[in-house]
Amino acid sequence: MQPMLVHINIFPVKSCSPLTVAHADVERRGLRGDRRWMVVDAAGKFVSARKQPRMLLIRAEFAGDSLVLDAPGMPRLHLRAAADSAGSRVTVWGDEVVGWPAGADADAWITGYLGFSACFVFMPEECVRPVDPAYARPGDEVSFADGFPLLLISQAALDQLNARLAAPVPMLRFRPSVVVANTTAHAEDGWRAIRIGEVAFDVVKPCVRCVLTTVDPATGTFDPTGEPLRTLVSYRRGAKGVTFGQNLIPRGRGTIRIGDAISIIE
């Protein structure tokens, strides 16, 4: 059968809950609106759900050129970047970039939710964060995502994993941008270039998985069994770690939609 796109996630704020959408515009640095916002601490270093799992309970929706955020026990927050600001230097995985602030009310909101001094920052278009040149072409960019514009996982890979688990886990444990059906498990490991609908992508690097896969996105708490990472170690561990899914770099612009055919270019 023809591989097919069956799920699209946009993560408006890094390490927070996704929006599941029927279609998304692909830009140079990933899906439009994906991880353009990030939470940083008082030192300007990004805050991750790896250490603050309750971040997964923060939900964001687009409202024009701003976001509306909800979280347990918190009032609704309208999040907008202060475009007239010079911004501040912030770091994400060792990369230093400029982020625009969201203002005192937004900072008080996230500080109150997390329990320590924190603030939101926005990545403007003029901020350029290059992709690791070991895997990219000159000019490739990424948002506040960990390292690459998109992450793809086959549904069959999750099905194979769940067949080994005592309790199945949802795909959201792995936070993919796109999910593909009608393939064998981990077929994406053998792809080097694909086309989703009319948009081409390079498949550049396996995604090495971490403790975030053990956080239940419904509760914002760590799974006491250590799953699914404990099981993945038994059959998906390689020289660089446990891998699950493949990172993508766009090679064009356009719109991808649920139901789009996936063509294997290489």
By the 10 Å C-beta count (0-12 exposed, 13-18 middle, 19+ buried), 24 is classed as: buried
Which residues fall within 8 angstroms of residue 92, CB to CB, at 6 or more apart? 14, 38, 46, 129, 144
Strand pairing report for 241-250 and 150-154: antiparallel
Rg (CA), the chain: 18
Q: What is the pLDDT of residue 82?
A: 81
Strand pairing report for 118-122 and 237-238: unpaired
CA-closest candidate to residue 214, choices 224, 199, 200, 201: 224
At residue 64 the predicted structure's pLDDT band, cuts being 50, 70 and 90, is confident
Q: Map out the domains of the chain as residue ranges.
A: 4-31+137-264, 37-122
Per-residue pLDDT, averaged over 166-170, amounts to 97
pLDDT exceeds cutoff 80 at 191: yes
At residue 212 the predicted structure's pLDDT band, cuts being 50, 70 and 90, is very high
CATH topology of domain 4-31+137-264: M1 Pyruvate Kinase; Domain 3 (2.40.33)
Question: Cα dihedral sign for 255, 148, 155, 180?
Answer: positive
Give the CA distances from residue 255 to residues 24, 127, 247, 250, 265, in Å, rounded to whole numbers and listed in that order.
Answer: 6, 23, 18, 12, 18
Q: What is the pLDDT of residue 87?
A: 85
Which residues fall within 8 angstroms of residue 196, CB to CB, at 6 or more apart? 5, 178, 256, 260, 262
CB distance 180 to 188 below 8 Å: yes
pLDDT exceeds cutoff 90 at 95: yes
pLDDT exceeds cutoff 80 at 105: yes
Q: What is the pLDDT of residue 80?
A: 92
pLDDT exceeds cutoff 80 at 249: yes
End-to-end CA distance of the chain: 18
